[in-house]
């Protein structure tokens, strides 16, 4: 009989349970819990693996949902017996995933605590699931991260250990686990990655495959070789620790050579870049690799077929034809207001180079960043007629810099400084408006905060930071959308195998980050760059267009970022030496001085012509008030003057005795020099072929 409240005590002490009662209660709960767990293990049936839904490939479609781009995960699976898998491969898998597999009963409390400890202390990242638990989850259960699924996984794991031997569980695991590239099971993985049967795998190859199990996408050898090598060493160290491999064998091991990814036809050209971009974003959204590779999904992308064809055709028609070794060209285009990625040009062929020049590669942005300071200045109340120091060389807040060719312009309006991309005037403006204000404007417009090189100093306006093409296309799309920004996305719709729509993009997802009047004034100023400034080749479209050129120091990168009301696109060019280090673009395609106003602007124009062929011509909303054609006053003005159309003043003849070289480290934007400087101005003639861009001083 339970003595509670306690009869041998008085007062409040009667309510304090005795240690016998506490111990007895805990033992009773433990017995009941153990009994319930045992009953669950006994009563819960184990489904046959054959009852699991057959994995299906995932289709990746163009934005119309009708034309297929390619597929993710052509499911490959060939079952083999454990005897057909070399022992050193079995040991490698155990070293990678469950070193105590033969010593536990389905789950390992020690493994769970070790995983928690390593993850908290910064050791090697580990999971707490045993091989049995992983097999149960993959073969019988869903991937849901819920408590009910976790309990079922634990119960089934223990149950399975009572009806199947350890060798049977390991064999089933090796035949079902996902290795990447659509390969389920060790036999398929051996074929896909090494072109041989699992029975022929070497120790080094087996360890490499075992290393990939934890996160196949993050250890794809063509993309993340360094990470895979580190994990490979971890696996072999585990084999040494368990006595399955000698230290000498470990030290003599050489990292194996992998086959190129399969599905060459569907991944060739731009398709591989698009499919990989889809995979990255889907994983970021919480989908698992197994769901992507075998879930039977239909992913409708934002990629527009006509725009995509136009991107490829533009690079082929207007890009350089010779002196192109190790040249990289990236193009990204987005829809203003929604952030939908309409087209990308990631490189000539994904199979030859997997680094995406549109969505992954980076380069200094040069004077394209002047557009961010322009937006900040307009928002702060400075008009396009405000006057700034365009003399060269100039010293601003301790920084000494000069314009391209040391061209000196004297006092110039903000409009003229934008049209002609005048370095000194823009650094003067940034110093007054504020560097933090310029950076804030850039980030609101869409430049990621983690863009390398963003520092709160005057070099920001000259583009010392290194964005991606998609970052710049997205940021400038906010101008086109009159102040509405949306993060770029390649996902329009995701349809699960049942036919239900799991996700659908909101075409009006853009959020207001700038007022329309500010954006209309910015658009007006950036139209002058295309109409009569450093980006006149972009006017070849014959459509209202705005944009900004950018050229890094020594022409190590060249940009044109431009937009119409319907589309925003960025074109980036870089070149490297054998070591992968950036080198000057000068001389590429026979052009002595490659700038953003040369090939990049020509490619952009060619792309816009193709992407908007047959589309209605749209104009920008003119700004309120009146706009100057020249800088009319001697000091910065808060109000615009009375001239309606952009016609910037001609630059003065550069000084014949420049003093010194600039000490400011970042990029400098080439600007037009007068004809009497000995370099002919370029006429706005449409390109006739790939090498149609003649040398020009404007950038």
CA–CA dist 345, 72 (Å, integer): 20
pTM score:
0.66
Q: How far apart are CA 383 and CA 385, in angstroms?
A: 5
97 is catalytic: yes
**Would you call 408 a catalytic residue per the annotation?**
no
pLDDT, mean of residues 267-283: 95
- The pLDDT value given to residue 125: 45
Tens of pLDDT, residue by residue over 171-217, are 989 988 999 988 889 998 999 999 999 999 999 999 999 999 999 99
DSSP state of 486: -
Instruction: Give per-residue pLDDT as tens, 621-634.
Output: 999 855 555 433 33
Q: Tens digit of pLDDT for each residue in 601-652?
A: 999 999 999 999 999 999 999 998 555 554 333 333 333 322 222 333 322 2
In terms of Cα–Cα distance, which of 367, 332, 320 is closest to 534?
Answer: 367
SS3 content of the chain, % helix, strand, coil (to 5): 40, 10, 45
> Can you tell me the distance from the alpha carbon of 640 to that of 499, in angstroms, rounded to the nearest whole number?
57
Q: What angle, 0 to 180 degrees and rounded to 10, lies between the N-to-C axes of helices 469-480 and 516-532? A: 120
Q: Pairing relation of β-strands 58-61 and 298-301?
A: parallel
Which tokens go with 333?
Answer: 């285009």
Q: Tell me the C-alpha to C-alpha distance, in Å, between residue 675 and each of 246, 598, 639, 646, 693.
A: 75, 18, 34, 21, 18
Catalytic residue among 367, 438, 475, 698: 367
Identified catalytic residue from 97, 204, 205, 220: 97
Please tell me whether residue 573 adopts helix, strand or coil conformation: strand
Share of the chain above pLDDT 90, in %: 63
Q: Give the chain's domains with CATH numbers.
A: 75-262 (1.10.3810.10), 312-677 (3.40.710.10)
Kindly report, residue by residue over 487-534, the tens digit of the pLDDT: 999 999 999 877 889 899 998 899 999 999 999 999 999 999 999 999
Each residue's pLDDT tens digit, 412-454 = 999 999 999 999 999 999 999 999 999 999 999 999 999 999 9
Q: Quote the CA–CA distance of 650 and 672 in Å, as a whole number.
A: 9
Residues 6 or more apart in contact with residue 678 via CB below 8 angstroms: none
Please give the Cα distance from 312 to 610 (Å, whole number): 10
């Amino acid at each position: 009989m339970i003595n509670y409240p306690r009869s041998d005590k008085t007062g409040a002490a009667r309510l304090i349970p005795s240690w016998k009662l506490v111990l007895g209660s805990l033992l009773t709960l433990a017995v009941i819990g153990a009994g319930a767990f045992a009953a669950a293990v006994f009563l819960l049936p184990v489904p046959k693996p054959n009852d699991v839904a057959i994995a299906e490939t995932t289709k990746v479609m163009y934005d119309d949902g009708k034309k297929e781009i390619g597929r993710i995960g052509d499911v490959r699976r060939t079952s083999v017996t454990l005897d057909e898998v070399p022992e050193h491969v079995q040991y490698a898998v155990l070293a990678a995933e469950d070193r105590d597999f033969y010593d536990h009963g389905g789950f390992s409390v020690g493994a769970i605590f070790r995983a928690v400890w390593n993850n908290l202390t910064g050791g090697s990242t580990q999971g707490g699931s045993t091989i049995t638990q992983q097999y149960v989850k993959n073969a019988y259960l869903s991937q849901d991260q819920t408590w009910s699924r976790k309990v079922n996984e634990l119960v089934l794991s223990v149950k399975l250990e009572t009806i199947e031997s350890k060798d049977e569980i390991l064999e089933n695991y090796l035949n079902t686990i996902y290795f990447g590239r659509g390969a389920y099971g060790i036999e398929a993985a051996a074929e896909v990655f090494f072109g041989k049967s699992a029975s022929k795998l070497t120790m080094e190859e087996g360890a490499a495959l075992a290393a990939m199990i934890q996160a196949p996408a993050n250890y794809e050898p063509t993309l993340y070789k360094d990470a895979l090598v580190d994990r490979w060493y971890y696996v072999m160290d585990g084999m040494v620790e368990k006595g399955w491999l000698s230290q000498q064998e470990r030290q003599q091991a050489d990292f194996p050579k992998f086959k190129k990814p399969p599905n060459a036809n569907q991944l060739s050209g731009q398709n591989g870049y698009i499919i990989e971009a889809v995979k990255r974003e889907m994983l970021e959204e919480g989908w698992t690799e197994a769901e992507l590779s075998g879930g039977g999904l239909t992913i409708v992308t934002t990629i527009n077929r006509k725009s995509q064809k136009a991107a490829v055709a533009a690079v082929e028609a207007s890009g350089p034809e010779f002196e192109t070794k190790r040249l990289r060209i990236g193009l990204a285009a987005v829809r203003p207001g929604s952030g939908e990625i309409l087209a990308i040009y990631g490189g000539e062929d994904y199979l030859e180079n997997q680094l995406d020049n549109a969505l992954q590669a980076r380069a200094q942005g040069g004077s394209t960043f002047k557009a961010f300071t322009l937006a900040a200045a307009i928002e702060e109340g400075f008009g396009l007629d405000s006057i700034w120091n365009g003399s060269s060389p100039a010293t601003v807040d301790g920084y000494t810099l000069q314009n391209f060719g040391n061209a000196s312009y004297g006092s110039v309006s903000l409009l003229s400084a934008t049209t002609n991309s005048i370095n000194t005037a823009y650094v003067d403006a940034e110093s007054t408006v504020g560097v933090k204000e310029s950076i804030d404007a850039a980030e609101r417009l869409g430049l990621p905060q983690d863009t390398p090189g963003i520092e709160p100093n005057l070099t920001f306006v000259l583009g010392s930071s290194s964005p991606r093409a998609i970052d710049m296309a997205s940021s400038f799309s906010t101008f086109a959308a009159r102040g509405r920004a949306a993060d770029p996305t390649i996902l329009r719709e995701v349809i699960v195998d049942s036919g239900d729509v799991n996700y659908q993009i909101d075409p009006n997802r853009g959020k207001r980050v700038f007022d329309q009047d500010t954006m209309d004034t910015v658009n007006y100023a950036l139209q002058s760059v295309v109409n009569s400034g450093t980006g006149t080749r972009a006017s070849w479209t014959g459509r209202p267009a705005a944009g900004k050129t950018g050229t890094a120091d020594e022409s190590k990168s060249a940009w044109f970022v431009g937009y119409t009301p319907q589309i925003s696109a960025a074109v980036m060019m870089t070149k490297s030496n054998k070591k992968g280090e950036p080198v000057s673009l000068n001389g590429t395609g026979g052009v002595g001085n490659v700038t953003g106003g040369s090939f990049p602007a020509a490619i952009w124009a060619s792309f816009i012509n193709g992407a908007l062929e047959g589309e209605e011509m749209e104009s920008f909303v003119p700004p309120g008030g009146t706009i100057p054609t020249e800088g009319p006053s001697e000091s910065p003005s808060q109000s615009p003057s009375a001239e309606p159309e952009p016609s910037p003043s001609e630059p003065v003849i550069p000084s014949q005795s420049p003093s010194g070289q600039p000490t400011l480290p970042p990029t400098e934007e080439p600007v037009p020099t007068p004809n009497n400087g000995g370099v002919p101005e370029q006429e706005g003639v449409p390109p006739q072929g790939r090498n149609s861009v003649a040398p020009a001083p404007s950038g």
